Amino acid sequence: MLMSTEMPLFSNALKQLDQALTYTKLHEDTVSMLRQPKTVIQFSIPVRMDNGALKVFKGYRIQYSDARGPAKGGIRFHPQVNMDEVQSLAFWMAIKCAVVNIPFGGGKGGVRVNPKELSKAELERLSRGYINGVADYIGPDRDIPAPDVYTDETVMAWMYDQYCVIKRQQLPAVITGKPVALGGSLGRGDATGRGGFYVMQALRQELALSGEAPTIAIQGFGNAGTHFAQLASAAGYRVVAVSDSKSGIYNPNGLNIEATIAEKKKTGQLVANGLEKPISNAELLELNVDVLVPAALEDQITVKNADKIKAHVVLELANGPTSFDADQILFKNGVTVLPDILANAGGVTVSYYEWVQNRAGHYWPIEKVHTELNTTISQAARDIYKFKTDRKCSVRDAAYALALARLGSAIESHGTQTYFGKA
């Protein structure tokens, strides 16, 4: 493993772990296990481009922990993908699955690529090449990939198909986030945004959001951000600003979310019309709103802007959007952060339902998916909030404390042959 100074994001994650250990006591050997990934895979993916040239991409897969079940986590296609990022995301997946108490460990994968520069055929070859690289390490009982930033159900379909070609078997439970036609679950598409919305609703009273039309700003208008915006706006919240990697729009009276989505679909951009003003990502983060929703990438709230955050609730749909030091500032300033490991756990929860349905060969109606998700994530939110209130800690510390107790108990129960045991 690289030293933590070479892995700033992972060292951020370990600081969160260390802080949470103040609230839950674990055996020192368990803590040693939790501080390192179990398996790290780095590989090359040669892809024949449409112009005949060969390009070699760098692929990663990390199985951080399988103590509570097979590793589980998405695959990201992004030009900034690196080992630090993948390892941190894999670690958070292990914690997240324990937060919502689903029987999975944590994993993550990625390819360092700008998918926007690839043709559809090149993207398919890259997706299949990724599976060629990891086919011996993944599987329904081993490690189950899913979509993440710039990967979607089409990419999952190609990956699943490639896995079946290699194994000469139909094994739908190897990948989640598949199209419904290939065994995907109803309700997986909007599960992350929906889960975040259910968390906000479950704690609405506690977060003082029960007044008229509380305001929301959302950074990142992709899968997670868009669905959250739709549900919040339909429930009477006022979504006043949204942004993506290229631009942002702001209207203090509230945006028409359905029209904004339609416009983005048509033009590929967030365009300010007469009622809306353009807004930069930095300005959006500092808006005076009730709820700020980072839904793009890591490290958006740092020591540089934490003191300028005016929202009283930060709901982290993105993974790792707040640095450790920024988190301390927000806590001191009375900002309630609903952490990623709770707020965006809806995606992996419905992925778990997809895996269950694939294994049972029996498929659920959408209402059942929504009801099960609401029950699971709202219960987790209430348990965590109670812990936070009782122990006067942050919501993140409370979520970690409950998750670490579950993870620790699984690691210790495995015994000395697999892991170690109490002497």
**To the nearest whole angstrom, how small is the minimum distance from the Cβ of residue 339 to ligand NAD?**
12
Span from 3-11, 301-309, 315-323, 382-390 in contact with ligand NAD (CB under 6 A): 315-323
**To the nearest whole angstrom, how small is the minimum distance from the Cβ of residue 235 to ligand NAD?**
20
Q: Are residues 178 and 250 in contact, defined by beta-carbon separation less than 8 angstroms? A: no
Span from 54-62, 316-324, 361-369, 384-392 in contact with ligand NAD (CB under 6 A): 316-324
Residue 194: both structure tokens together: 């929906």
In a 3-state reduction of DSSP, which class is residue 366?
Answer: helix
**Size of the residue set binding ligand NAD (CB under 6 A):** 24
**To the nearest whole angstrom, how small is the minimum distance from the Cβ of residue 178 to ligand NAD?**
13
**To the nearest whole angstrom, how small is the minimum distance from the Cβ of residue 409 to ligand NAD?**
25
In the numeric block, the tokens 């990967």 are attached to: 151
- Please state, in angstroms and rounded to a whole number, the distance separating the CA atoms of residues 48 and 218: 38
Per CB under 6 A, the list member of 323, 344, 349, 374 interacting with ligand NAD is 344
Per CB under 6 A, the list member of 317, 329, 369, 395 interacting with ligand NAD is 317
In a 3-state reduction of DSSP, which class is residue 143?
Answer: strand
Residue 223 makes contact with ligand NAD by CB under 6 A: yes
Residue 220 makes contact with ligand NAD by CB under 6 A: yes
Q: How many helices (H) and strands (E) does the chain have?
A: 14, 12
120 is catalytic: no
Q: Are residues 343 and 195 in contact, defined by beta-carbon separation less than 8 angstroms? A: yes
At residue 239's C-alpha, the angle toward residues 236 and 242, to 5°, is 155
What length does the chain have? 423
Beta bridge partners of 242: 218, 249
Span from 33-41, 52-60, 166-174, 218-226 in contact with ligand NAD (CB under 6 A): 218-226
Residue 243 makes contact with ligand NAD by CB under 6 A: yes
Per CB under 6 A, the list member of 244, 290, 397, 412 interacting with ligand NAD is 244
| Phi–psi pair at 231, nearest 5 degrees | -70, -45
Residue 138: both structure tokens together: 């993944």
Radius of gyration of the chain, Cα coordinates, nearest whole angstrom: 21
- Please state, in angstroms and rounded to a whole number, the distance separating the CA atoms of residues 115 and 76: 10
Per CB under 6 A, the list member of 219, 260, 323, 336 interacting with ligand NAD is 219
Report the run of H or E that residue 241 belongs to, with start and end.
strand 238-243
Binding to ligand NAD in span 247-306, by CB under 6 A: 281, 295-297
Cβ closest to ligand NAD, residue 24 vs residue 151:
151
**Catalytic option among 38, 72, 96, 108:** 108
**To the nearest whole angstrom, how small is the minimum distance from the Cβ of residue 241 to ligand NAD?**
12
**To the nearest whole angstrom, how small is the minimum distance from the Cβ of residue 390 to ligand NAD?**
28
Q: Using the 8-state DSSP alphabet, how is residue 76 labeled?
A: E
Which spans in 245-294 are helix H?
Answer: 257-267, 281-285
Residue 88 makes contact with ligand NAD by CB under 6 A: no
Residues that bind ligand NAD (CB under 6 A): 147-150, 192, 219-225, 243-245, 281, 295-297, 317-319, 344, 347
Q: Which residues are catalytic?
A: 108
